[in-house]
C-alpha cells in the first residue's frame, strides 16, 4: 500500500452547502449578497475529520468570486485545500437534448500533479463528473434538510477506503449502504 494520501475533491453547491434566494424554514448559517446559505449538517466536523486522512480540494461550477467567499466562510482554520477551482477550470459541454450547457469537472486536468488512482471526487451532479466514473462518489443533493446525515455516513465510508492503492478498483455505487448504520 502507498503512503500517499488520496486527494478528495469536493463539490460545493448542493454537496457541502445549499444557497437560496428564498429563506427556508430554518435559520441560515450566513448570507452572501441576497442569498441565504445553509451548511450541510456536520460540515465542520466532516472537514476536520476527513482532513486527517485525505488531502482536500474544492471544485465548483460556480463563479470564482462566489466560490471563494463561500469557501472562506465554511472552512475551519486548520484546513488547507490543495486547490479551490471554479467554473473557469471546468470544461463546457453542450447538451443538445436539453439545449443547455454543462460545466464538467474532468479529473484528467489533474494528471500532471496527481495520480488519478489516488483521486476521488464527491458531487451531487453525475452529469458534471461523467468522465470520472471510477473516481466519483455521488451523493444526494443537499437542499437545507437539517436532518441530513450524508456527511457523517460519507466520512465513515471514506475512512474505510482511505488506504487503497487504486480508488478506481472500488465499486462505489451504493457506497452509503456499505457502511453499517
Instruction: Name the band, by pLDDT with cuts 50, 70 and 90, for residue 136.
Output: very high
pLDDT given at position 149: 96
In a domain, 2, yes or no: no
Whether the predicted pLDDT of 181 surpasses 50: no
* DSSP secondary structure, 113-134, as one string: TS-GGGEEEEES-GGGSGGGGG
Write down the residue that cell numbers 457506497 correspond to: 175
> Does an H or E element contain 103, and which?
strand 100-104
In a domain, 147, yes or no: yes
Split into its structural domains, the chain has a count of: 1
Instruction: Give the model confidence (pLDDT) of 13-69 as tens digits.
Output: 999 999 999 999 999 999 999 999 999 999 999 999 999 999 999 999 999 999 999
pLDDT given at position 180: 53
Instruction: Give the model confidence (pLDDT) of 67-90 as tens digits.
Output: 999 999 999 999 999 999 999 999
Chain centre to alpha carbon of residue 102: 17
In a domain, 1, yes or no: no
pLDDT given at position 18: 98
Q: How many helices (H) and strands (E) does the chain have?
A: 3, 10
Instruction: Give the separation between CA 178 and CA 181, rounded to whole angstroms.
Output: 9
Residue 19, helix vs strand vs coil: strand
pLDDT given at position 2: 55
Average pLDDT over residues 159-165: 96
In a domain, 71, yes or no: yes
Q: Which domain, by its residues, includes 95? A: 7-177
Instruction: Give the model confidence (pLDDT) of 95-104 as tens digits.
Output: 888 888 889 9
Q: Which residues of 75-92 are buried (b: 16+ CB within 10 A; e: fewer)?
A: beeeeebbebbbbebbee
The CATH number assigned to the domain holding 23 equals 3.40.50.1000
Whether the predicted pLDDT of 1 surpasses 80: no
pTM (global) more than 0.85: yes
Going 84 to 119 to 175 to 76, the CA torsion angle's sign is negative
Average pLDDT over residues 108-137: 92
Amino acid at each position: 500500500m502507498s503512503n500517499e494520501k488520496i486527494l478528495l475533491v469536493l463539490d460545493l453547491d448542493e454537496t457541502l452547502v445549499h444557497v437560496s434566494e428564498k429563506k427556508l424554514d430554518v435559520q441560515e448559517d450566513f448570507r452572501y449578497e441576497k442569498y441565504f446559505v445553509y451548511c450541510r449538517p456536520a460540515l465542520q466536523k466532516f472537514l476536520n475529520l476527513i482532513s486527517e486522512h485525505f488531502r482536500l480540494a474544492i471544485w465548483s461550477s460556480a463563479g470564482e468570486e462566489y466560490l471563494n467567499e463561500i469557501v472562506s466562510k465554511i472552512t475551519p482554520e486548520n484546513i488547507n485545500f490543495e486547490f479551490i477551482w471554479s467554473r473557469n477550470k471546468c470544461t463546457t459541454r453542450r447538451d443538445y437534448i436539453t439545449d443547455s450547457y454543462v460545466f464538467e469537472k474532468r479529473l484528467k486536468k489533474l494528471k500532471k500533479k496527481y495520480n488519478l488512482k489516488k483521486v476521488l471526487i464527491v458531487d451531487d451532479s453525475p452529469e458534471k463528473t461523467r468522465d470520472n466514473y471510477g473516481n466519483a462518489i455521488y451523493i444526494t443533493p443537499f437542499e437545507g434538510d437539517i436532518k441530513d446525515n450524508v456527511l457523517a455516513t460519507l466520512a465513515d465510508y471514506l475512512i474505510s477506503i482511505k488506504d487503497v492503492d487504486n480508488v478506481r478498483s472500488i465499486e462505489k455505487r451504493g457506497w452509503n449502504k456499505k457502511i453499517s448504520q
